[in-house]
Structure 1
């Protein structure tokens, strides 16, 4: 067991304290069923605990605390620091008005199944001629481990089994990694995907491709690790000749989301359709000397920039870029939001020639100014920004037209907000960047552009009411 915690009172009862043999007395437990989240086959789970209380006026001597499954069980017990191969401990005394802790782990056996299978057992407490039980439940999931894997040929990963990545998953120069619909990659702490060739993600609305950390349990009660940033490294794309195509990719809770890099002389192409990049300790999407097209994509909640662009041609249509990273009362972040805008377009460095187009996008966050375009000669910058909702002061450059500009005070209210469904996390409802019914972004999109992309990220019809909304999500009345 990973944790050995002993208590001085276990098995020791003061001479003056009586042990009751009354079968009518009962123990109480912190839970009647101890549930684990999905655990990968062959990988030790976290350690969970059950508190066993004796609320009676006399001590109770337990003949035995054991797993019903005995030696064949996939669970393991540690009773207040005592454990053995049989997961059985005998002659345990719990003094009156006192308690003991039982620590439980599980290691799932391989099932040769593609879907999780339930694992059940129980902790049996035998005393005074009676038996009480606490149920144990977990789900075991087979997976394929990719440990410091170097892929030298064109390769396709399927949805048959999830993949557990340790270290670096590296794709050789000019080779293509293709991820099929429903493919799932879980990354151990510090692991990352490094692509020296091309990345093709063929997710669908019904079967998105997901990349996330490998912690499937909760960091606190009812708070999943999905909400904790910095769990894995992220995706690095550094092949200058590459053509990356990402559809319905959902990545979250790493260090940096996607970093794509080229050179001043040669720029890779990155296309994102219906993707979600959420909850990162640094950047969401950082592109240096790269040509990027992003449609119907959410980039949200990053300690640094949600979007950083430097060099190359960039087209963003119907994107929701929202940075409320620090708007939470729960200590779930490994970093604090830096004093940086959500969107940074940097034309000051010596990069490839730049052109930027933003249409029907939302750019918002917790800062007064969430948009920054840095260039030496403002009027000469090549770009077009129209029909966007931008959190900043009014921008009077010739490249900007028909935009709405807002400040947090325009939509943040004591009882909520007039932009998204939820822009904070207090331990209950999590961030939700679909539009609120009173959103400033409703009915404001450029119709001719929306007609080219009639479905939003969730498959809703933008043109159903003839008045499309800004961002990646169309408001749908009555849809919760």
Structure 2
């Protein structure tokens, strides 16, 4: 469809343009769905005749078919294939006892009204390359909107959810990235491996008396990067937890908060806390935060929080914790932080105090899939120079 200076087409004529003036021409393309899985190109042209002359303006539009799901309930064990993107409208629910598997390279786009709710099990296993990572993001991909936080609600693992695994998964531009409630059983409710959680308006990870085992994860530029509250059991190994004030997020909250309580109104709920952070970076910049790691204990439940071979930015050491081999207030020297263009590379440069300062763990590769060495680097990335 074409519209020239407010007059609809397909043919528009007898338009006068005064000297040094102009007119606007708007073109909209509507592509009928097909069975094609790969992206395709639609080409056309506009003919312009003026003062006895004729010119042609070439048009080109890209499109791709998608699988659209509205208020979807996954009623049986299901596998999503990567042949075309998924667009979720109105939300999606995986009920208790049901597993959704997602193939490598699958892209999931969620509308502003579409929470991804897991009462059962989510198994999302990607691979290290950009083309084979699994991506959760909003459905607005046009310029300006594509980088805004809070474009969709987030992924919510509710109380009955168990045995979730996310590997090589990117979660970006949500209101909250991963939210998990209290779970049952002796194994971690969620395993996050080689995951990126970025640009979430509120929390990147919010865990309420739950259990998470995370390794080689980057949690970056969220309003409240990692919030572990009302106790639970957590193990973070080789994670980079960083926030930098930019055009979308103002860094005003610590990148890590660990508490044994949550307070709603006048009601205080307390739970035992066990958390271990090994070879992790906790850093913030261009904000108002002096202590990027805070802990708080209100109850009489067990409170066992340990930091081993970590690099953090704090003015006051966190309370009631065990801290071993900590590098304090030494700039990690990230490869690139470009807030003007919203481009970030949180690998560390040569000379960083994080290099070779970790302790050996069972985590043998990094976020890029590179092998760890005997004296590994602190953080999600292992240097290769």
TM-score (norm 1): 0.73
Map of 2:313 onto structure 1: 391
Question: Which of residues 322, 330, 335 in structure 2 aligns to 1:421?
Answer: 335
Separation in 1, partners of 2:112, 2:24: 29
Q: 1:277: Cα distance to partner?
A: 0.5
Q: 1:424: Cα distance to partner?
A: 3.9
Separation in 2, partners of 1:179, 1:424: 33
Q: Give deviations 1:47-104, integer Å, cap 9, x for gaps.
A: xxxxxxxxxxxxxxxxxxxxxxxxxxxxx211111113xx221111111111111122
8 A Cα contact 2:127 2:133, kept in partner: yes
Separation in 2, partners of 1:309, 1:434: 29
Separation in 2, partners of 1:263, 1:188: 28
- Does residue 354 (structure 1) correspond to residue 273 (structure 2)? The answer is yes
Map of 1:177 onto structure 2: 100
Question: Which of residues 348, 366, 374 in structure 2 aligns to 1:456?
Answer: 366
8 A Cα contact 1:265 1:352, kept in partner: no
- Comparing 239-248 with 179-188, which one deviates more in the overlay? 239-248
Question: Which of residues 243, 246, 250 in structure 1 aligns to 2:163?
Answer: 243
Superposition map of 1:76-475 within 5 A = 76-84=1-9, 87-206=10-129, 207-219=132-144, 225-240=145-160, 242-262=162-182, 269-324=189-244, 326=245, 328=246, 330=247, 333=248, 336-337=250-251, 339-349=252-262, 350-366=269-285, 367-376=289-298, 381-393=303-315, 395=317, 399-406=322-329, 410-411=330-331, 419-427=333-341, 430-446=343-359, 448-449=360-361, 452-463=362-373, 466-475=374-383
8 A Cα contact 1:347 1:354, kept in partner: yes
Separation in 2, partners of 1:205, 1:126: 52
Q: 1:461: Cα distance to partner?
A: 2.3
Q: 1:313: Cα distance to partner?
A: 0.8
Q: 1:308: Cα distance to partner?
A: 3.1
Structure 1 gap segments, 5+ residues each = 1-75, 220-224, 412-417
SS of structure 1 residue aligned to 2:146:
helix
Map of 1:29 onto structure 2: none
The verdict on how the C-alpha distance between 1:369 and 1:177 changes in structure 2, with shifts beyond 3 A counting, is same
Residues matched between the structures, number: 373
Question: Which structure has the larger Rg over C-alpha atoms?
Answer: 1
The verdict on how the C-alpha distance between 1:235 and 1:155 changes in structure 2, with shifts beyond 3 A counting, is same
SS of structure 2 residue aligned to 1:226:
helix
- Comparing 275-284 with 340-349, which one deviates more in the overlay? 340-349
8 A Cα contact 1:173 1:239, kept in partner: no
Q: 1:399: Cα distance to partner?
A: 1.0
8 A Cα contact 1:241 1:267, kept in partner: no
TM-score (norm 2): 0.90
Separation in 1, partners of 2:351, 2:300: 35
The verdict on how the C-alpha distance between 1:135 and 1:402 changes in structure 2, with shifts beyond 3 A counting, is same
Separation in 1, partners of 2:301, 2:206: 25
